[in-house]
Structures are given as structure tokens and as C-alpha cells.
């Protein structure tokens, strides 16, 4: 097997034994595996040749990018892992049409830097941006903090190139904003977690870089009030809210314990803390005034003062410089580190209708108390898109006990017309959830598509689709 792969890619592109150590566990350290080999192709045709060989020999293939997933999607025990890290070319940045053509191995923060030189942004952002790669981001349809203004990854992609399970290369590298020529195969592959094809290149949508930001921490009575604040702020700013991120008291306390040098969000402590950011595109909103103020910041300060006066919020602190803004964002972006210090946890990445977020948190606490009175939760949420990361620290780590908690939270989410998976993907960790909660007709349709495209079952086997 190794000889065959070396003949296809060259000896330096095929790793085995101890050379595969860095790929043997995921970022959460929850899944450990021993791949047969890790191969590092440089081109789409290299990927195609490996997949064609794998299909002919029945060898399972697992794609990996930055390996920052949270659901076990890159578990590769007994499989050949294809690392796409060498497909890392930013081929073109075209400011006039506001697109970037990139390889699947491009790291998100590197793309941010490249388009920044053109006063543009690729607005997707999250804590793992320094290691997450475009291929994995597309394969999981990642979300992040700016979905409220720009949408998920799916909304930021015009076209892709991918290698199908047969080794054939499908060219969907469209730069068009409108194309109704049959089924949208691009959207079939985005979010499929590498089970239907390996994304190797993409055409990504860019947006104008905001000329200035106004960033604040807000305290609200509850998330129902927070949603009222979001809607009022969208109206006051003409839809310019870039992020609206929820952090409860428990998270703030855990963050300060882990990062004691970090500033407190407020002089007082509150149950509901929200990071809000507004991005100004118009020069009139971003120009520096003689007194050193910026209109977008002044407008946010005045708006929030009105919210405090009419009781919509309890408190607010507006960042006065980039250092203060960065500190606010670090508090939110360090969530994964903070949560994983709580010991063994159950991660519930759920989505709900926006007006039922507070109801969910209230009922989830009640459900948890009936199953495990000693457990506690620590959550963060993207309020603007209804995504709550409801993380539970159980008192008992027995798998059956953990699954009981997961099932109970899932049922609550389903009863509230939500989804058990918002942005982290299915991978291994949520296959039981798929079996329990996904519409059976939809599930059978997904399986039929998988079997039609990958009859030998070589691409990321054992993921997404329940047995």
C-alpha cells in the first residue's frame, strides 16, 4: 500500500508510523486513531490519483484540513488520511468582482490577511481561524460570529472543485451569482463532511472591509430582552450589526478564573452579557472628528444610552480603542479553551428559533436538574442566528449517563422546532442523534445519495450517516 502511494505522490508525500503522530488525535483530544498512512498531495490531480487508487482497492479515505473539528469528523483508524494542507495557494484575489480563488488548504487567517490588502474581507471568523482550512470549513458549513450579517460558509461560496469517490474531478468553479442550470451540486458537497467528495478549490465571496467598528459589551435582563436589543440595534444602524454574542455569568466567571489578567466586562456582575459589534462601511460614519470621536462609535453610545434610559438594557461599555475591542473579542473567542477546562463535558451544538432562546435555556436547566442535579452548564451563543453551544459538565462520565442527557436535550430542542446540530457538524459524535432525530425520509434520501456517489463506501466511512 505504501509503495503504491509513494509511486503516485513521491516518497516525501507519504507519511507512516511515528510521522503520523500529529494527525492521530483531534483538537478536543476526544478521538484517537492510528491511520494506515497520511498522504499530502500538492494538486487536485494528486488527490484524484489517490482517491482513484483507493476506490479500486477498497481502501477507506479520510480527508483532513486544520483538524480543528469538534465532532470526530477526522477519525481515521485503519484508513488513509488525505491532508489537504499543501493545497494552500491563494490563486487570485479579484477586487472588482469581489471574489477570491483559493485552494482547500488555505488557512482562514491567511486569507483574511491577503484580502485585507485590497480593503476587502472574507467575513467568516471564529476562534480557530489561525489553523482551520478552507476545505474543512466548507465541508462542515462552518458558522462563526458574523453569520448575523454575512451568513454561513455556504452563503459565502460561489463555486467549488472537488474529487468524487471515483477519483473523477468535478468542476463547479462558478463565479456566477445566478445559475439555475439544474441541481446545485455545490450545495450537496458543502456540509457533507467529506463523505460525498473532497473539496480541493473554491471561489469565495468577499465583502467591503468596514472602515470602522463600534464594539460594546451589553448587559440585559434575559435573552428575550437581548433579542429586542438586537432588533432595535439593527434598525438603528441600518442592518450593520456584525456580531451579537451571548456569554452568561457562569462563562464570565470561568473565563476570569482561567485568564485572571483579562479585564472584567463590567464593574458589576450580570447574568446576561452580550458582545455587540457594528461595522461602518460609509466614510461619513468612519471619519475621525476633531474631538477624536468616530460617528459610528458615537451613534452606538447614544443608542445604548437610550436603551438604558428606557430599560431595554441594564449596562453597557463601549470600546474606545482597538485594544479594548480586542479584549472583548478575546473573551468570546477563548470559549473553547474555557469550556474544555471544565473537565469531561457534553457539547450540545443546537439551533433554535430566535424568539425561543431564553425559553430553551430555562427548560434545559430544569431538564438537566431532573437527570443530574449535580451537573452544571456553561454556555455561549450566537444570538443573531439562534445557535447555542449548551455545554454540560456531568457528575457521572458513564457513556449511558451522558447519552441520557444528550437525548433529553435533543428532545427539548426538537419539541421547540430546533436542530440538534448547528455548526459543528455530525462526524462521529452525533450519528446517534441523526438516527433518533432526523426525519427518516430525509435520512433515507441522504443514504441513497451517499450510496449512489460512493458505492464502495470509501470516503470518510462511519461518519454522518447512522448505521
> Are 465 and 428 spatial neighbours (Cβ–Cβ below 8 Å)?
no
Q: What is the pTM of this model?
A: 0.94
> Which pLDDT does position 341 carry in this prediction?
81
Q: Where are the alpha helices (DSSP H) in 61-133?
A: 108-116
Q: 37 vs 56, 387, 399, 457, CA distance in Å? A: 17, 36, 30, 18
Q: Does domain 212-335 have CATH number 3.30.70.2190?
A: yes
**pLDDT tens-digit readout, 228-270:** 999 999 999 999 999 999 999 999 999 999 999 999 999 999 9
Does residue 300 have a pLDDT over 90? yes
Q: Which residues of 400-413 are buried (b: 16+ CB within 10 A; e: fewer)?
A: ebbeebbbbbbebb
When mean pLDDT is compared across 83-87, 151-155, 224-228, 335-339, the lowest value belongs to 335-339
> Are 377 and 408 spatial neighbours (Cβ–Cβ below 8 Å)?
no
Kind and range of the H or E element at 297? helix 295-309
Does residue 30 have a pLDDT over 90? no
Residue 108's pLDDT band (cuts 50, 70, 90): very high
> Which pLDDT does position 33 carry in this prediction?
94
**pLDDT tens-digit readout, 424-451:** 999 999 999 999 999 999 999 999 999 9
Share of the chain above pLDDT 90, in %: 94
Return mean pLDDT, the chain. Answer: 96
The C-alpha atoms of residue 33 and residue 74 are separated, in whole angstroms, by 9
DSSP 133-176: BHHHHHHTT---TTHHHH--GGGGEEEEEEE-TTSPEEEE----
> Which pLDDT does position 81 carry in this prediction?
97
Residue 343's pLDDT band (cuts 50, 70, 90): confident
- In the chain, list all ranges with CATH 3.30.70.2740: 342-424
**How many CB atoms neighbour CB 113 within 10 A?**
10
The C-alpha atoms of residue 3 and residue 461 are separated, in whole angstroms, by 23
Residue 60's pLDDT band (cuts 50, 70, 90): very high
- In the chain, list all ranges with CATH 3.30.465.10: 90-208
The C-alpha atoms of residue 340 and residue 193 are separated, in whole angstroms, by 24
Is the C-alpha dihedral spanning 169, 175, 180, 184 positive or negative? positive
**pLDDT tens-digit readout, 13-26:** 999 999 999 999 98
Domain 2-83 -> CATH class: alpha beta
> Which pLDDT does position 133 carry in this prediction?
97
The C-alpha atoms of residue 435 and residue 48 are separated, in whole angstroms, by 32
> Which pLDDT does position 21 carry in this prediction?
94
> Which pLDDT does position 322 carry in this prediction?
95
The C-alpha atoms of residue 63 and residue 84 are separated, in whole angstroms, by 7
**pLDDT tens-digit readout, 153-166:** 999 999 999 999 99
The C-alpha atoms of residue 400 and residue 230 are separated, in whole angstroms, by 39
What mean pLDDT comes out for the span 366-391?
A: 95
> Which pLDDT does position 381 carry in this prediction?
96
> Which pLDDT does position 127 carry in this prediction?
87
> Which pLDDT does position 107 carry in this prediction?
98
- In the chain, list all ranges with CATH 3.30.43.10: 2-83
Domain 342-424 -> CATH class: alpha beta
- In the chain, list all ranges with CATH 3.30.70.2190: 212-335
Kind and range of the H or E element at 275? strand 272-280
**How many CB atoms neighbour CB 53 within 10 A?**
18
**pLDDT tens-digit readout, 66-75:** 999 989 999 9
The C-alpha atoms of residue 379 and residue 212 are separated, in whole angstroms, by 30
Q: Does domain 90-208 have CATH number 3.20.130.10?
A: no
> Which pLDDT does position 424 carry in this prediction?
92
Amino acid at each position: 500500500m505504501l509503495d503504491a502511494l509513494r509511486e503516485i505522490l513521491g516518497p516525501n508525500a507519504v507519511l507512516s508510523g511515528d510521522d503520523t503522530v500529529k494527525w492521530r488525535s483531534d483538537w478536543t483530544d476526544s478521538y484517537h486513531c492510528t491511520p494506515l498512512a497520511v498522504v499530502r498531495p500538492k494538486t487536485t490531480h494528486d488527490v484524484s490519483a489517490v482517491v482513484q487508487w483507493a476506490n479500486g482497492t477498497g481502501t477507506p479515505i479520510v480527508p483532513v484540513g486544520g483538524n480543528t473539528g469538534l465532532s470526530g469528523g477526522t477519525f481515521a483508524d485503519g484508513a488513509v488520511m488525505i491532508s489537504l494542507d499543501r493545497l494552500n495557494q491563494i490563486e487570485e484575489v479579484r477586487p472588482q468582482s469581489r471574489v477570491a480563488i483559493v485552494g482547500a488548504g488555505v488557512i482562514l487567517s491567511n486569507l483574511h490577511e491577503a484580502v485585507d490588502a485590497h480593503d476587502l474581507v472574507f467575513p467568516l471568523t471564529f476562534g480557530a481561524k489561525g489553523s482551520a482550512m478552507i476545505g474543512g470549513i466548507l465541508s462542515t458549513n462552518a458558522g462563526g460570529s458574523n453569520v448575523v450579517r454575512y451568513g454561513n460558509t455556504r452563503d459565502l461560496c460561489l463555486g467549488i472543485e472537488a474529487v468524487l469517490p471515483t477519483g473523477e474531478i468535478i468542476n463547479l468553479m462558478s463565479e456566477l451569482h445566478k445559475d439555475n442550470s439544474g441541481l446545485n451540486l455545490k450545495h450537496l458537497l458543502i456540509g457533507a463532511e467529506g463523505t460525498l467528495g473532497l473539496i480541493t478549490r473554491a471561489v469565495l465571496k468577499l465583502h467591503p472591509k468596514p472602515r470602522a467598528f463600534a464594539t460594546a459589551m451589553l448587559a440585559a435582563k434575559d435573552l428575550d430582552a437581548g433579542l429586542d436589543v438586537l432588533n432595535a440595534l439593527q434598525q438603528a444602524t441600518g442592518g450593520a450589526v456584525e456580531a451579537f454574542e451571548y456569554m452568561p455569568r457562569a462563562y464570565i466567571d470561568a473565563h476570569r478564573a482561567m485568564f485572571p489578567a483579562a479585564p472584567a466586562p463590567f464593574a458589576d456582575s450580570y447574568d446576561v452579557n452580550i458582545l455587540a459589534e457594528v461595522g461602518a462601511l460609509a466614510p461619513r460614519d468612519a471619519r475621525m472628528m476633531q474631538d477624536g470621536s468616530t460617528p459610528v462609535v458615537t451613534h452606538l453610545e447614544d443608542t445604548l444610552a437610550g436603551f438604558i434610559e428606557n430599560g431595554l438594557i441594564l449596562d453597557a461599555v463601549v470600546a474606545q480603542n482597538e485594544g479594548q475591542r480586542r479584549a472583548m473579542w478575546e473573551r468570546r473567542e477563548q470559549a473553547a479553551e474555557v469550556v474544555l477546562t471544565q473537565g469531561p463535558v457534553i457539547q450540545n451544538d443546537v439551533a433554535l428559533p430566535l424568539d425561543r432562546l431564553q425559553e430553551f435555556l430555562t427548560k434545559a436547566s430544569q431538564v438537566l436538574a431532573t437527570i443530574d442535579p449535580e451537573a452544571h452548564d456553561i454556555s455561549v451563543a450566537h444570538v443573531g442566528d439562534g445557535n447555542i453551544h449548551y455545554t454540560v459538565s456531568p457528575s457521572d462520565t458513564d457513556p449511558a449517563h451522558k447519552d441520557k442527557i444528550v437525548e433529553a436535550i435533543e428532545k427539548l430542542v426538537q419539541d421547540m422546532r430546533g436542530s440538534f446540530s448547528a455548526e459543528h457538524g455530525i462526524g462521529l459524535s452525533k450519528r446517534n442523534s441523526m438516527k433518533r432525530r432526523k426525519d427518516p425520509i430525509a435520512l433515507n434520501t441522504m443514504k441513497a445519495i451517499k450510496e449512489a456517489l460512493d458505492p464502495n463506501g470509501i470516503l470518510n466511512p462511519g461518519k454522518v450517516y447512522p448505521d
